[in-house]
Amino acid sequence: MSAITTLSDEDVTPHVAEVFAGAKASMGKVPNLFRVLAHAPAALDVYTGSKRLLHDGVLSPQAQEQIAIAIAAANGCDYCLAAHTGAARAVGVSAEDRASAQSGHTSDAKIQVVLDLALAINATHGQASAPALETARSYGLSDAEILETVAHVAINILTNSVNNIVGTTLDFPKVERV
């Protein structure tokens, strides 16, 4: 059970109701994470705004979702693992790559470099990520791709932390860890 209750549609401000409506339109529902974050509309806006802006960035949707899976697995967030595994399926990531992403692996060489960088940033908060950064640069990742990788790690740490602290009730199909 969630340590912070989920807010119903009737319990939110008009602004949050608009965010909920957007979620329903794009995902078919309002995830429990949104209903928890709705207690702090600014935090909800940080998450949804960041995701919206990064969605159209330079990293492919497949890379974005595999980052989220890798970071969720590394940080022990079953909620995000379930949500992003479903999202990865929706953007065409193979079942093998969805499972492999949990351990930071993928069949796509470029996304592999991105995952290596993302996991190094997550593990060291960027302080000991120089080898992964050098590998990313030698592979040819652009500054934009590197910086967006950092941004994806940061936004995933936010949601992993919220879900792990709160124990957000899972409302996506559970994904077994590999």
* Same fold across 9-55 and 61-166: no
Residue type, 78: D
What is each CA distance from 115 to 30, 76, 122, in whole angstroms?
28, 17, 10
Average of per-residue pLDDT across 43-50: 98
Q: Is the per-residue pLDDT at 98 higher than 90?
A: yes
What is the fold of 61-166? AhpD-like (1.20.1290)
* pLDDT at residue 129, as a whole number: 81
* pLDDT at residue 73, as a whole number: 98
Let me know if 138 is exposed, middle or buried by CB neighbors in 10 A (0-12, 13-18, 19+): exposed
For the chain, give percent helix, strand, coil, nearest 5.
70, 0, 30
- The DSSP 8-state label assigned to residue 76 in this structure reads T
Contact 169, 1 (CB under 8 A): yes
Show contacts of 12-19: CB within 8 Å, 24+ apart: 12/38, 13/41, 15/41, 16/41, 16/44, 19/44, 19/45, 19/48
For the chain, percent of residues with pLDDT exceeding 90: 96
The C-alpha atoms of residue 27 and residue 87 are separated, in whole angstroms, by 9
* Domains in the chain: boundaries: 9-55, 61-166
Q: Is the per-residue pLDDT at 90 higher than 90?
A: yes
Q: How many CB atoms lie within 10 A of CB 151?
A: 15
Q: If pLDDT is split at 50, 70 and 90, which confidence band does 80 have?
A: very high
Q: If pLDDT is split at 50, 70 and 90, which confidence band does 128 have?
A: confident
What is the fold of 9-55? 1.20.5
What is each CA distance from 79 to 15, 35, 168, in whole angstroms?
25, 14, 7
Average of per-residue pLDDT across 75-93: 98
| pLDDT tens digits, 151-161 | 999 999 999 99
For the chain, percent of residues with pLDDT exceeding 70: 100
Let me know if 178 is exposed, middle or buried by CB neighbors in 10 A (0-12, 13-18, 19+): exposed
Q: How far apart are the first and last CA of the chain?
A: 24
108 versus 178: which is more confidently predicted? 108
Average of per-residue pLDDT across 81-89: 98
